[in-house]
Structure 1
């Protein structure tokens, strides 16, 4: 069990409202303004009081039709609900506020609510909606020349990118926001930025940097008595310390965070504190204490609308019970998780739960239950894939049917023209033989042209039919690979983990064999996913390939902190397109070149540089490692395979290396660069 790895930042950064100097038109308006100011002052340290203040303000505002105040009340109510992890309630309030601001044509309010919508969509996993909401907020803030608002939305957008492992844009937006906030010198905003950057460093295993930024945030939070961030900063510092294996110091920070979170009513922070204490207890081989902390985390989330978190907590405790060989209790947690997943229609989670049940029933020596669980595992795997595959097939079918209709329409038009021509020909007989002869020549030429068009149209129809059948075959192969080989590989990998658990820690030789098989299986799963990725499309853009390479490089950087990775992209390559074979061969060659540099070069820097040439695309993979003599290489087959892949797609593979001077691999592929 690892430290809980949900990205924990301050409840993103909800946009509130400072009360401006306005003309007081009534005693009721003055009372509402007073209540709103009080609510803003308590929202970071006393949520129950905040909710009471807002409830009273809403009663007055609705009674006296104070629309602008009603919008502010809904906005703050949404923020308070979000901080208490009641996300459904939070979303409802934000949408109400947005409706009010649109009705009153309040541009500032609309910008704030777009930012808040982005927050809720991010937390509930609707990443595309989150990105769109933040971008809309940034655009409006910049139009209003509101630097503070723009910085807020930028930081939140960076967090959303980070959750999707898009690390480059995540850090770009985060530091762009931080720079603005350091200029504005608003302590609350600065604390949030420091905390967010610290969290990003935490989950990229930059623990020292994470502690540095989170301590900057904590200093401000303690000074301003911001209970909400006081707890979260301590938890994030503890996570980083645990990453450095400084468990005693980590526990100190977590135990400080618990009473602060309890007083403030922050269930999310409490859950992280208990989960992390549980993980540390497990590291210290105190499984009873680990389960006790996990029980507290589960009790907090019972009955909340955060089903995914409650499910994850049950799965974590199930793993702890397995370590104690308390298989009945482990089974109960899996059943509880299954119940939640079925209620929420979480197909992917149900797949994982069924895989865990297969392992558990092997330990319990219940082959029938294990077989049933495996059949359900395959069913859920099919369901998860078919949602995507069926959509793709339907799109192909629609495209094909549309083209068929267009072809039929063209045939009808040609037939109509032919009939009109015949009628015209009959009438021309009246003008004599000379006219008839001339018309016959013209008609013959025209009919010949029509026949050519018909033949061409028929050829196009056959071509489209062939392409559609080919696409259907490709999708069928992809589905079979995923369903059959993919599920079997996943099952083997899971079975290896169970064998390792059963063998205990003393059987080093057996565990080494199991680890080798498990590592091989994981590599095979990755290769299979790449193949399915290539089969599911007949054409790729360079952007598809760029994102695939970027994700691979980011993962390599996280795994090898002692190596500095750099991925450079020429913007002129955006218009290049690849066939599926070109895309997968190019990606795998780059992947193998980087992996070879990691394994054998003893390098401290590896660079992948793509650029546009006059004839197409050039990719350079370089390292500053020990180098080698290519003719004497023991990895001749690997180099040959890379060269063969590139030559298969009409490219050129160039290798230059010398002992002590590093290695350079260049791939040149002739492609058309669109203007």
Structure 2
């Protein structure tokens, strides 16, 4: 509560100073402070003060003050998410700062433009600006600004999932900030490092770093970042299926988020609690928190998060035996996601059209000026023929240059519109797959896919995160993979062992491509009848057991070789998946869903699953099935 009170008192004090300010310069300085400090409180109010400051600063005819006013307004627009307006104001600020010649301010604005591009998922443009600014700050010994830019570059690598490079940069930033005794920024960097370890599944390291950040934020009395760190820990514990720990940390974060008025983070924590109760199979409680989070996201018009809630609520209603509600939220997710994509495409089109129209207007004005000049030149043509010929030559050159520029702009627009058309077609394909997911497979498959997608939608750094197009593409690819496997079996009715062997062989080949350094082998006993038939449901069960065994080996055993063999022993079909990895003692490990699922599938097939493993000597999983 201290944070909120301090912020409120500061703003009241600034407004009092503004009411008694006697000069335009004093008013501009106070308006600049109000714009800056209102950003975390109210974006619209911050923008209102920023626009008032622009008018006051223009009356002063002071480029330095006006440049700062444009910069403050650019910051307010950036935090609100209106990135085009933010970029315009930062460019105006940059023009003025080039005129004043203040290099530090120039490269600070270049850094801010990098932040805008980063928010707009234009990582290449952001990186160009950041590297330009970093070079200047390092060259001039401005370590503090260099550290800020370096940290932002680390965030770009984090968004690109280049975790080793991001970790390297953040560790340098953490060392600098710790040496400077800047506990607040140090803790912020620790939060990023904790997220990297979490994504790398190094959960112990992630927990250690998060707890250190939590200790610092508590000591600083920063309730806002204390609440967000509690939420980060809750997300970490959810990833480890430690639901009780996740709930206790989320509840502490919820209290603090409510105290400081962090409505958006409050909704994020509610959604984390919903996930925890979902994992505990307490579906009524999970539904309660999802509905609360959805209400708060709607109040803030956070449409991307609303779409996430729709997707995550669908399996909850399926588990509660409410298929109509499950179908409703699935359809709501598809419709909202489609609308958001269309809005983004329309925004891009509008931006391109605005630029194109501006170029056309400039070209028209230039042509009018050229026509006027030509008329004037004709009046004096007889007197200064030589001069006229030179000027006409220059004008023809300029006109051709303008035409070439116009043609280039038209080419860019056509290329961009072609890209938009491609994106539209891609979106239509995504929607078709989503409808197939709902209409043909039903609520149960929706539940499975949604559970897998939870890992994406609750990454706090996503906090962020990936661009919507990347998220949609990944979702589509994963869904297609699952649908193809299922449709392959369902459409076949019955499948031969030769068809199943080919499917397993393709899977091993793909695994070998994506996991370098591991040798995959597949052996089928020659005496086994290749035309031996299986019911399609049995074939997909066997295929899933092979997938599960290989995925477990890759996750935990670190093998150099994996062998899958099929043979006939008496009247039994014998399938063996064997690796030379680290192995394990089954009694000493916590049973996970992997072994349980394989045994359950074997039981449903009327067969038996045997697991033989020794620490350091590899693992052998044998499936024995009676021939029917």
- Interval containing the TM-score (normalised by the shorter chain): 0.5 to 0.7
Contact 2:294 2:306 in 1 (8 A): yes
Aligned residue number for residue 105 of structure 1 = 61
Q: TM-score, normalised by structure 1?
A: 0.50
Q: TM-score, normalised by structure 2?
A: 0.53
Contact 1:382 1:483 in 2 (8 A): no
Deviation at 1:289, TM superposition (A): 0.9
Contact 1:115 1:134 in 2 (8 A): yes
Secondary structure of 1:302's aligned partner: helix
For 1:215 and 1:230, the matched residues in 2 are separated by: 10
For 1:237 and 1:323, the matched residues in 2 are separated by: 26
Question: In the alignment, which of 228, 234, 240 is matched to residue 278 of structure 1?
Answer: 234
Aligned residue number for residue 479 of structure 2 = 521
Is residue 200 from structure 1 mapped to residue 200 from structure 2 by the alignment? Answer: no
Task: Map 1:612-651 onto structure 2 (within 5 A).
Answer: none
Question: In the alignment, which of 496, 500, 525 is matched to residue 445 of structure 2?
Answer: 496
Is residue 125 from structure 1 mapped to residue 81 from structure 2 by the alignment? Answer: yes
Deviation at 1:364, TM superposition (A): 0.4
Deviation at 1:134, TM superposition (A): 2.4
What's the CA shift string for 1:482-518, capped at 9, x where partnerless?
Answer: 7962541564698536237899xxxxxxxxxxxx998
Is residue 258 from structure 1 mapped to residue 214 from structure 2 by the alignment? Answer: yes
Contact 1:46 1:264 in 2 (8 A): no
What's the CA shift string for 1:581-625, capped at 9, x where partnerless?
Answer: xxxxxxxxxxxxxxxxxxxxxxxxxxxxxxxxxxxxxxxxxxxxx
Deviation at 1:268, TM superposition (A): 5.5
For 1:377 and 1:520, the matched residues in 2 are separated by: 17
Deviation at 1:57, TM superposition (A): 5.9
Contact 1:355 1:373 in 2 (8 A): yes
Secondary structure of 1:215's aligned partner: helix
For 2:116 and 2:217, the matched residues in 1 are separated by: 24
Deviation at 1:348, TM superposition (A): 4.9
Secondary structure of 2:161's aligned partner: coil
Question: In the alignment, which of 360, 365, 381 is matched to residue 316 of structure 2?
Answer: 360
Contact 2:241 2:279 in 1 (8 A): no
For 1:391 and 1:242, the matched residues in 2 are separated by: 35
Contact 2:323 2:443 in 1 (8 A): no
Aligned residue number for residue 559 of structure 2 = none
Secondary structure of 2:57's aligned partner: helix
Q: 1:214 to 1:261 in 2, by over 3 A?
A: same
What's the CA shift string for 1:622-672, capped at 9, x where partnerless?
Answer: xxxxxxxxxxxxxxxxxxxxxxxxxxxxxxxxxxxxxxxxxxxxxxxxxxx
Q: 1:560 to 1:520 in 2, by over 3 A?
A: closer
For 2:208 and 2:188, the matched residues in 1 are separated by: 14
Deviation at 1:180, TM superposition (A): 1.0
Q: 1:332 to 1:229 in 2, by over 3 A?
A: same
Deviation at 1:60, TM superposition (A): 4.5
Aligned residue number for residue 33 of structure 2 = 76
Task: Map 1:206-605 onto structure 2 (within 5 A).
Answer: 206-262=162-218, 264=220, 266=222, 269-302=225-258, 308-374=264-330, 376-377=332-333, 380=336, 384=340, 481=428, 485-489=432-436, 491=438, 496=445, 498-499=447-448, 519=477, 521-522=479-480
For 1:211 and 1:390, the matched residues in 2 are separated by: 37
For 1:392 and 1:241, the matched residues in 2 are separated by: 36
For 2:208 and 2:82, the matched residues in 1 are separated by: 35
Q: 1:71 to 1:560 in 2, by over 3 A?
A: farther
Q: 1:100 to 1:311 in 2, by over 3 A?
A: same
Aligned residue number for residue 467 of structure 2 = none
For 1:390 and 1:79, the matched residues in 2 are separated by: 31
What's the CA shift string for 1:145-194, capped at 9, x where partnerless?
Answer: 12211221222222222233322212111111111111232333222122
Contact 1:211 1:240 in 2 (8 A): yes
For 2:148 and 2:191, the matched residues in 1 are separated by: 14
Contact 2:17 2:30 in 1 (8 A): no
For 1:193 and 1:370, the matched residues in 2 are separated by: 45
Contact 2:21 2:27 in 1 (8 A): no
Secondary structure of 1:261's aligned partner: helix
Deviation at 1:327, TM superposition (A): 0.7
Contact 1:88 1:305 in 2 (8 A): no
Question: Cα RMSD between the aligned structures?
Answer: 4.4
For 1:53 and 1:371, the matched residues in 2 are separated by: 49
Aligned residue number for residue 580 of structure 1 = none
Is residue 158 from structure 1 mapped to residue 94 from structure 2 by the alignment? Answer: no
The total of aligned residue pairs comes to 394
Deviation at 1:520, TM superposition (A): 5.3
Deviation at 1:325, TM superposition (A): 0.7
Question: In the alignment, which of 7, 15, 19 is matched to residue 62 of structure 1?
Answer: 19
What's the CA shift string for 1:257-282, capped at 9, x where partnerless?
Answer: 22433455656533442232223223
What's the CA shift string for 1:85-144, capped at 9, x where partnerless?
Answer: 654554444344334323323322222232233333333222222222222222222222
For 2:147 and 2:195, the matched residues in 1 are separated by: 18
Contact 2:430 2:476 in 1 (8 A): no
Deviation at 1:360, TM superposition (A): 1.6
Contact 1:378 1:483 in 2 (8 A): no
